Structure 1
Amino acid sequence: MDVSLSYFLDAMSGSPVLVITLLLTLGVIFVNGWTDAPNAIATCVTTRCLPARTAIMMSAAFNFLGVFVMTQINSSVASTISNMVDFGSNTQEALVALCAALISIVVYSVAASVFGIPTSESHSLIAGISGAAIAIQGGVGGINGAEWVKVIYGLVLSLALGFITGWVICRAITVLCQNMERRRADRFFGGAQIVGAAAMSFMHGAQDGQKFIGVLFLGIAFCNGQNSVSGMEIPVWLMLLCSIVMGLGTSVGGEKIIKSVGMDMVKLERYQGFSADLAGAFCLLLSSVFGIPVSTTHTKTSAIMGVGAVKRLSAINFNVVKDMMLTWIFTFPGCGIISFVMAKIFMAVF
């Protein structure tokens, strides 16, 4: 299959649906940078290591690098997303259904962000393409169970490993630095937390950027009359395009989400913020290497809870945690149903 930039531009001139798919995918990537990426810098801002605007611009740069660098090293997450569903042999209908899935993600994510609640764009994406596949196939035959199992692994990994790793790292730092002078420790962890936030931003781009690259790559395949991207190499121009758009989305901000994650859930000190960032980045790196799509929101928030639990469980505001968990639980059926309905409507109209 020809995946060169020149071919893609020529294909867009003759396919309005491909143009819509491109715009929707880039819109979802932009929304992801806007609503999801702030989780990566929430602790850095709320512990006053960096002003919000400076942290956001730093995060935008490292999101860009994460998408571009990690996709060239290991693109297994993108492949998992591309192979998760089967839209059938009619590639024109498949392209229309893919558009419906992308619209459902935008609708759901923007609605949640209005209330300052962190969303899982990863789960929105998975639910959206799954709902569209069920609509076009008339049943669950379009769902690839082997790839969907990785979503379950990712859910467990992001929650359990994030919490445990956050607890272990924070506990180790507490023991190792217990005799360090307080002012000196604050200065050290202030700098260390900036590095940790940069690492979290890089890994957010590596994880979430690859997921949406996989979707856009799938759209290109449909335009070529192919219903699969197995064995195809992701072009550099596509990596650059997605990484630039995610960086731009991150630069827009997300102050409400920063407050929800970094302040409302657990009151953090600098060494705790660094522990949460390091734990989150480690879990994202591990899952990226093994091609497991995980939620960066799940990973970061569970790491923060693990850090808070080092002192006492009561340090965690479980009302905020409950609200977040309900949002995540509703994501799968919510996005899936919206996508299913839109896919049916789009196929009937187009």
Structure 2
Amino acid sequence: MTTIVLIVILTALLFDFTNGFHDTANAMATSIATGALGPRVAVAVSAALNLVGAFLSVEVAKTISGGLVDETAISPTVIFAGLVGAILWNLFTWLLALPSSSSHALFGGLIGATWVAAGTSAVNFSTVLGKVLIPAFLAPLIAGVVAMTGTYFAYLLSKRRDDRAVGRGFKAGQIVSASLVSLAHGTNDAQKTMGIITLTLITAGTLPAGSGPPAWVIVSAGLAIAVGTYLGGWRIIRTLGKRITDIETPQGFAAETTSAAVILVSSKLGIPLSTTQVCSGAIFGAGVGKKLATVRWSLAGQMALAWLFTMPAAAVLGAVAGWVASTGTLGTVLVAVGGVAIAAGIYALSRRRPISADNVNNPVAEPRPAPSNP
């Protein structure tokens, strides 16, 4: 392997790491909020199951390595630039505690860098539309409706039961459902990095076109996302667990079960779905499904804007990085140094108001809107 290929592989694993701590909230935010699992236990369980999930399927990886862009028209340098754009957007939204899509950041960064390097003809827009944009619109709506319905019936069936017994039962159910979300996350999100590394090896001539990810790629991607998950993205965990609605155990169980089902189906079909959008949609649906529950729709608007801008913003970052890197070795070095400097600055800003496992469940000062009825 050449030096640039090794650099791209390491950068892809770094993205996978950020994906892990950025998306930990998808699986465990509601279980932590309801007390079904302690924060540190939750992230440990999630990390282990993300690793297991990475070995269950490679369909999403094949979609990315051979579907989104023309691998014959780009080089490893282009992929490196796209990854830098995705990582920076991930870190920026993490700083703002916004659960944006790591997947769409990756797709946007790759598309932007490819566009600059090889033109629009190198981007397979039909695949982007059919397997990225349409699912991005439909998935959170479907998850929201299903979770709302599940929550409604959960409260209906348990309303004449003892509240303590109901709470204990749903907490036990949440341990299972949250574990399924973590497993599903591994089958979908870990594969995206596998696909990127496989695409890099194909563009470098190390693998033939159409190849699936080698075993060492599967193992390394699974480990990277597991380590990132274990560190816990406490900022976004607080947003999903505490700021959207006051989650109770029936709502958490309904949201997690819905999310796991949608993500597992998409992984089977090879659709690189945004797990963030699915889980967020399910939590909003669970909030609406409980009579007289409070749902903070102003936060929904902020999240929708983050979702809307993620692909374009990451594409712009990827395009700028790609343009600089295309000038040669010096340009690639500048992109790497600039990316590290910006990432360090974002981390420094995050330390001004740190959020950890110890204070993730502390109340957040938010205006309480009028209740939402199912």
> The residue matched to 2:105 in structure 1 has which SS?
helix
2:21 and 2:288 map into 1 onto residues whose CA distance is: 29
> The residue matched to 2:327 in structure 1 has which SS?
helix
1:202 and 1:260 map into 2 onto residues whose CA distance is: 22
2:71 and 2:163 map into 1 onto residues whose CA distance is: 62
1:82 aligns to 2:61 (yes or no)? no
Q: Of 21, 27, 31, which aligns to 1:44? A: 31
2:215 and 2:285 map into 1 onto residues whose CA distance is: 38
Consecutive unaligned residues in structure 2, runs of 5 or more: 330-374
Shift of the alpha carbon at 1:233?
Answer: 3.1
Q: How does 1:101-112 map to 2 (within 5 A)?
A: 101-112=82-93
1:115 aligns to 2:96 (yes or no)? yes
Shift of the alpha carbon at 1:153?
Answer: 2.6
Other-structure match for 1:208 = 189
CA contact (8 A) 2:151 2:290 kept: no
Q: Of 211, 229, 248, which aligns to 2:227? A: 248
2:33 and 2:268 map into 1 onto residues whose CA distance is: 30
2:255 and 2:327 map into 1 onto residues whose CA distance is: 48
TM-score, L = length of structure 1: 0.90
1:25 aligns to 2:12 (yes or no)? yes
CA contact (8 A) 1:154 1:287 kept: no
1:184 aligns to 2:165 (yes or no)? yes
Q: Of 279, 286, 293, which aligns to 2:272? A: 293
Shift of the alpha carbon at 1:324?
Answer: 1.1
> The residue matched to 1:116 in structure 2 has which SS?
coil
Shift of the alpha carbon at 1:176?
Answer: 2.2
Other-structure match for 1:281 = 260
2:241 and 2:15 map into 1 onto residues whose CA distance is: 24
1:282 and 1:313 map into 2 onto residues whose CA distance is: 27
CA contact (8 A) 2:53 2:186 kept: yes
Deviations 1:229-281 (A, max 9, x none): 32x23222211111111111111111111110011001111111011000110
Q: How does 1:159-198 map to 2 (within 5 A)?
A: 159-198=140-179
1:66 and 1:50 map into 2 onto residues whose CA distance is: 20
Q: CA RMSD in A?
A: 1.6
1:281 and 1:58 map into 2 onto residues whose CA distance is: 15
Other-structure match for 2:126 = 146
CA contact (8 A) 1:87 1:94 kept: no
> The residue matched to 2:87 in structure 1 has which SS?
helix
1:118 and 1:302 map into 2 onto residues whose CA distance is: 11
Q: Of 183, 197, 216, which aligns to 1:237? A: 216
1:301 and 1:165 map into 2 onto residues whose CA distance is: 13
Q: How does 1:49-64 map to 2 (within 5 A)?
A: 49-64=36-51
Shift of the alpha carbon at 1:156?
Answer: 2.5
Shift of the alpha carbon at 1:313?
Answer: 7.9
Say if 1:108 and 1:293 are closer, same or farther in 2 by CA, change over 3 A. Answer: same
Deviations 1:93-119 (A, max 9, x none): 511000000011111111111121112
1:184 and 1:144 map into 2 onto residues whose CA distance is: 53
Equivalent residue letter for 1:150: K
2:5 and 2:201 map into 1 onto residues whose CA distance is: 8
2:109 and 2:221 map into 1 onto residues whose CA distance is: 19
1:302 and 1:41 map into 2 onto residues whose CA distance is: 15
Higher helix share: 1
CA contact (8 A) 2:72 2:203 kept: no
Equivalent residue letter for 1:331: T
2:178 and 2:106 map into 1 onto residues whose CA distance is: 25
2:133 and 2:47 map into 1 onto residues whose CA distance is: 29
Shift of the alpha carbon at 1:336?
Answer: 0.3
Say if 1:279 and 1:89 are closer, same or farther in 2 by CA, change over 3 A. Answer: closer
Deviations 1:174-207 (A, max 9, x none): 2222222111111111111011111111111111
CA contact (8 A) 1:135 1:343 kept: yes
1:158 aligns to 2:139 (yes or no)? yes
Shift of the alpha carbon at 1:55?
Answer: 0.5
Shift of the alpha carbon at 1:349?
Answer: 2.2
Shift of the alpha carbon at 1:314?
Answer: 6.4
1:313 and 1:119 map into 2 onto residues whose CA distance is: 28
